[in-house]
Each structure stands twice: as C-alpha cells, then as structure tokens.
Amino acid sequence: PESSSNGSKDQNGTATGAGGDSPDKVALITGITGQDGSYLAEFLLKKDYTVHGIIRRASTFNTTRIEHLYADPKAHKGGRMKLHYGDMTDSSSLVKIINMVKPTEIYNLAAQSHVKVSFDLSEYTAEVDAVGTLRILDAIRTCGMEKTVKFYQASTSELYGKVVETPQNEQTPFYPRSPYACAKMYGFWIVINYREAYNMYACNGILFNHESPRRGENFVTRKITRSVAKIYHKQMEYFELGNLDSKRDWGHASDYVEAMWMMLQRDSPSDYVIATGETHSVREFVEAAFKHIDREITWQGEGVNEVGVESGTGIVRVRINKKYFRPTEVDLLQGDASKAKRELNWTPKVSFVELVSDMMKADIELMRKNPIA
Ligand code: NDP
Ligand code: GDR
C-alpha cells in the first residue's frame, strides 16, 4: 500500500491519477480489499478509471484479493490504482482522502459484513456500517463535493429479514433481523435522506447474496466449497455447519459489481434490487458442491442432529453444530430485480450451478497447491 500522498494533481488541484488519465473517471472504493472491492476495482480499471482504494491498517497483509492488480506494474507505481490508509471509524482520514483524490464516483463497500459476528460485535458493526456511512456522506459535503460526486451504498437483502413477502422488491417492507441488518438499515435511510436533503446523486444497491472464489472463508458458500475440496483431496473427513434450511438467492459477485457501476451512470439516482430471482437452501448448496466432485450426500436425523452421509460409504461428511445458528435467522430470500432489468438493462449471467462449479474448481485447485490453506 502507498501512503495517502499518491494520486497526482493537475494545476487546478484535480486528481488525474499518476497515469495522467481522464479526470472524468476517478473512483474511490471503500472496502477495496474485500470480495466486491476486488472485482469492482478490476472492472473499473478495465473501463479506464483511475481507482483509489481505502485500506485499513492490519498486522498482516490484507491486500491478497487485489494483489494481481497491484502487482501489475501498469496498475501499481505510476499506474491507475492507488491505495490509501483510512478507516470508516476515522472521519478525518475520509475527509483527507476525498479532498485529495477528488473522486467522481464513490463506492461505499466497507463494512463489518458478517451477520453472525454482528451479534458479538454489535456496537462496532453500527460504528462502521451505520455511522461509517454517515461519516463518508458528511466527508463529501465537507469537501464541497455533494453536487459532483456520485455515491453508491452497499445495501443488502438482509434488510428484508423476516419474510413479509417473496420475491422481495424495492417496495417490500424491511424487517431487519441482526445488528448488521439494523446498521445497514440506518445506512440505507441516511443515503436517501442526503439525496433528498442535499440533492446528492446517491444510490442504494439492495444486493442479494453474491459469492465467488474470493468470498470470505467464513461465509457459508465458501466454507462449503473449501471443505468439500479438502474432502476431495482427502485432507479432511467432515465439516460442521449450522442452519441448513435457510434459503438464499445466490449470484456471482462479478455480475453484481457491474450493476453497482450501472446505477451511477444514469441521469438521476434511485435504489435497485440486484438478485437472480432463484432461491436455494444451504442444504442444496452442500448437495451441489458434492455433486461437483461426483459424490452424493444423504441426510439423516432431524434438525440440529442432522448429518450428511456420503452415499455408498456410510461416512459422515457434514455435522450440524448449534454454535453456527444465529439468535435470529433470515429464513428466505428471493429477489425480484425487474426494476434493474428495466432501467439498467442488468441481468445476471452466472447460474447457481455455474457459481458452485466456479467456486469448487477454484478451491480444488487451491487445496491441491496448498493443503494447509
Ligand atoms: P467483505 O467482508 O469481503 O469486505 C469488506 C471490506 O470492508 C474489506 O475490504 C474490509 O477490509 C473493509 N472494512 C471492514 N471494516 C472496515 C473499516 N472499519 N474501515 C475501512 N474498511 C473496512 O464484504 P463483501 O465484499 O462481500 O461485501 C461488500 C459490501 O457489500 C459490504 O458492505 C457488505 O456488507 C455488502 N453486501 C455484501 C453482499 C454479499 O453477498 N457479498 C450482499 C449485500 C451487501 P479488510 O479486508 O481489511 O477486512
Ligand atoms: P448471510 O451469509 O448471513 O446471508 O450474509 P452467510 O453465508 O454467512 O449465511 C447464509 C446462511 O447460511 C447459514 N449457515 C451458515 N452460515 C455461516 N456463515 N456459517 C455456517 O457454518 C453456516 N451454516 C449455516 C446461515 O445461518 C445463513 O442462513 C451475507 C453477507 O455477505 C452479508 O454481508 C450480506 O449483506 C448478505 O449476505 C446479503
């Protein structure tokens, strides 16, 4: 990572990026080191943006997901991706960075994004996900850029929480079911409030779950594909999960970052559901992952005692552990993205089976190269 002195400026103080690119396309991404941040950075660099990312200080490297962009000499020194230390809990860092890089678009992806962890870190989650969103909106105003910056907020299908109706669309009432969802609910409304109060171009993307080989290891899809890949290589015998019955509308992250960008390319801002429209249970995801390695799983027992047994061998591959259950669960998510189709011409390209297959292939390869990953 570079210090916050990167990003050259022209004589008017406009950030041009060290590569001297068009000042029209300068993106700032919070959460650039996360799953979505890495795909979005890649996408925007291909579109000739200068991309600035905010990273937080960690005791180990936290830039693994963007290393391939960073290591490219064309995208690193003298290139179009620049990293700056900052934090969503530190207003002054946000003001300094925005003032220096003069972004035309800001993508606010930074968050404590784990729903189960938010029950343990509820106050911190609110600091980052709720007040952090307010901080960055205020930083834009402090820099006098509220009329020029376009702002994307990473809102979430977790806002729907307890099922009121399916499929869920932009009109479906919210009923958040975790400290994470409550914090994101504040983020959602403060974005709308600033849009209405200050005429800012600010959008909420209500994104349903999206996954990829870069998904964090403790989200359920990646936990499953990593574990099944290890079982495939005989590095592991079984793994543990929580609630198998919750249903999610799972898409591919690479499709979803494109929708974020599309939301900021219109004449006027709005909020959009981004989803595939299909829903599958965690159990179905497990079955699809085993199917990818030509094994079948049958389920025995009831509820928390349920175990997944590999057919023909009798060996237990999946155990249920209560510790992975949440105090309050979101049972069923299924999105209706027809507004995004109509107004943005966005549709998902990757199917559920292709998603599972992409993640399985990547994890089989990862575990082959590095059995202790
Ligand atoms: P990740 O957890 O993979 O990435 C989160 C990013 O936020 C990381 O870069 C992380 O940094 C950064 N971050 C966390 N805390 C802070 C902080 N205090 N200050 C600065 N940066 C911080 O999430 P995803 O990429 O999956 O999701 C991106 C966003 O979209 C999140 O806001 C998430 O809540 C939201 N979302 C995600 C969905 C999904 O299915 N993936 C669906 C709907 C919404 P570090 O790398 O150092 O940890
Ligand atoms: P979610 O994703 O809570 O939907 O939030 P996650 O993958 O954590 O859980 C999905 C469902 O799987 C069940 N589950 C387990 N979950 C985890 N993490 N680990 C397990 O062992 C396990 N066993 C069963 C969960 O109970 C849940 O029902 C994600 C995040 O990316 C959020 O930031 C984002 O806002 C939403 O998606 C949309």
Pocket of ligand 1 (CB under 6 A): 30-31, 33-37, 54, 56, 58, 62, 87-89, 109-113, 128, 154, 156, 207, 209-210, 216
The torsion angles phi and psi of 310, rounded to 5 degrees, stand at: -75, 120
Predicted pLDDT at 10: 30
Amino acid identity of residue 349, one-letter, is: K
Specify whether domain 220-247+280-331+351-369 bears CATH 3.90.25.10.
yes
Q: Is 181 in the pocket of ligand 2 (CB under 6 A)?
A: no
Sign of CA pseudo-dihedral 169, 140, 94, 46: positive
State percent of the chain over pLDDT 70.
93
- CA 167/CA 24 separation, integer angstroms: 38
Strand bridging mode 26-30 / 105-108: parallel
Instruction: Determine the atom of ligand 2 nearest the C-alpha atom of 157.
Output: 38
| 15 beta partners | 9
Burial (CB < 10 A; 0-12, 13-18, 19+), residue 250, is buried
Question: Does residue 278 have a pLDDT over 60?
Answer: yes
CA geometry: angle at 91 spanning 89 and 92, to 5°? Answer: 130
pLDDT tens profile 187-205? 999 999 999 999 999 999 9
Ligand 2 contacts CB of residue 209 (under 6 A): yes
Pair type for strands 280-281 and 247-248: antiparallel
The length of the chain in residues reads 373
pLDDT tens profile 83-109 = 999 999 999 999 999 999 999 999 999
343, containing H or E segment? helix 338-344
Phi, psi of 267, rounded to the nearest 5 degrees: -75, -35
Q: Which residue has the higher pLDDT, 78 or 25?
A: 25
Q: Domain coordinates of the chain in residue numbers?
A: 26-212+251-274, 220-247+280-331+351-369
Q: Per-residue pLDDT tens for 203-230? A: 999 999 999 999 999 999 999 999 999 9
Evaluate the CA torsion angle 113, 46, 65, 79 in order and state its sign: negative
pLDDT of residue 75: 74
Please say whether the beta carbons of 86 and 56 come within 8 A.
yes
127 pLDDT higher than 60: yes
Instruction: Give the closest residue to 220 by CA, choosing from 233, 206, 229, 209.
Output: 209
Q: What is the pLDDT of residues 176-190, one digit of tens each?
A: 999 999 999 999 999
State the amino acid at position 125 in one-letter form.
Answer: T
The ipTM, to two decimals, is 0.99
| pLDDT tens digits along 323-352 | 999 999 999 999 999 999 999 999 999 999
Output the pLDDT for position 23: 57
Q: Is the CB–ligand 2 distance for residue 35 below 6 Å? A: no
CATH for the 26-212+251-274 domain, from 3.40.50.2300, 3.40.50.720, 3.20.20.110, 3.40.1030.10: 3.40.50.720
